[in-house]
Amino acid sequence: MEIINKEVIENLSKKRSKNSISIYLPTYREDPETKENRNRINLKNKIKAARQELEDQRYKENEIEEYLKPLNDIMKDAGFLRNLGDGLAIFLNENTFEYYRLPLNFDSILYMGNDFYLLSLLRPVRENKSFYILSLNLHGVKLYKADRFSIEEEKVEAFVPEKIEEVTGFDDYRNKVYQHSSALVGGGQTFYQGHARGEEEKKQEVKRFLRYVEDGLQTILQDKTESLVVASVDYIFSLFSDTTRYKHLMSKNISESPADETPTNLLQKAWQVMQEQLDQEHKEMVQKYRDASNKSYMIDDIVPNILYNRVHTLFVNKKESIWGSVHNDTFEVMRHAERQDGDEDLLNYSAIRAFLNNGNVYLMEPEEMPDQNKALNALYRF
């Protein structure tokens, strides 16, 4: 799978040319032959629509064939069609041919204009933030660097004790844990000696172990800003939360012992924690917009403010398109009821520039927009 990040978005946004083609396809994970056939049919239909648009512009047949050749080549490639993720994004113009296979579904889109349609890529970029996963139990500690789609173990042996016995000494730990809770049998009765004291000593040994883990993690994470998701039983997580100084610890853990978890399963469960955070941030931003006075849903006002880097958060209606252009010097917005030669989708234009100016961008259903059914909602920085 290819990687989508801010650099990719920025590079594609600069590759402007007449009749730039953007194709987004949901793909399928069926048996190989069925998957190949369905993906080929869907791609073929998009190529047919692009061909029709070029014919309407009176391109000659040989010019059309040459222009669309990269698309026809991958449409005929059985191996390519059988090895797609959940979504395929393709970008083609006279200077560029790039495609990205992602484990995310896209709405089916064909866009032709002077620019590439990149709005659909902003969600996977926003969600593909890096984070750490700490697999934590008393007999095994591992740290992973992860993102939405990948996970890789970090080397921490030089800084972090792998298990509690390395801190306390195996025999010493074993004795302290078990000796006070062992049963003494005599006279037909069972007695337990020092159970409460034994539990307290065990807790202190665990806290000591976690302090060693914390000290090692600080060596690795002290300058980091990524979120840290912990996989551990709740008892251990509670003690670790009280111990750690890392400011970006997620308040919710993967509530289970990670001893037998594969990295793939850990990633899946950690992403659920991260997704909850993203959803919460989204809800909070919607409410912040609704409560704010420094906001607008007027595109003529929003576009210049984006270009002056005044937009903090932009909400985009995913079912809308507004055709027009923006004057390079005055930033005046020209809108047209129907697409004219040289026009571009102003929502795509606005979203990409807001994103590249480090604004938050959310692609939303019409009824989910803070000001419902508007094309754009913008929360200004000041």
- Domain ranges (residues) in the chain: 1-126, 131-274, 292-382
**pLDDT of the residue at 178:** 47
Superfamily of domain 292-382: Ribosomal protein L30/S12 (3.30.1330.30)
Fold of 131-274: Nucleotidyltransferase; domain 5 (3.30.420)
**pLDDT of the residue at 194:** 52
CA proximity to 83, closest of 26, 29, 40: 29
Q: Model pTM?
A: 0.82
**pLDDT of the residue at 190:** 42
The C-alpha angle 27, 30, 32, rounded to 5 degrees, equals 95
| 3-state SS assignment for residue 122 | helix
**pLDDT of the residue at 201:** 84
**pLDDT of the residue at 171:** 44
CA proximity to 313, closest of 376, 221, 367, 246: 376
Instruction: For the chain of 382 residues, list the mean pLDDT of each consecutive stretch of 10.
Output: 86 95 86 83 96 95 97 94 87 95 87 94 85 94 92 90 73 46 41 59 90 93 95 96 96 92 95 93 96 97 97 96 93 92 92 96 95 96 91
Residue 174, C-beta contacts closer than 8 angstroms, at least 6 positions apart: none
Contact by Cβ (8 Å): 24, 106 = yes
Give the whole-angstrom CA distance, residue 244 versus residue 136.
Answer: 13
**pLDDT of the residue at 291:** 97
Superfamily of domain 1-126: eRF1 domain 1 (3.30.960.10)
Helices (H), ranges, the chain: 6-14, 32-56, 61-75, 78-82, 122-127, 165-168, 170-178, 195-221, 234-243, 263-291, 299-307, 346-356
For residue 9, give Cα distances in angstroms to 117, 271, 320: 10, 23, 21
**pLDDT of the residue at 185:** 41
Cβ neighbourhood burial of 183 (10 Å; 0-12, 13-18, 19+): exposed
Give the whole-angstrom CA distance, residue 93 versus residue 172.
Answer: 70
Q: How many CB atoms lie within 10 A of CB 328?
A: 8
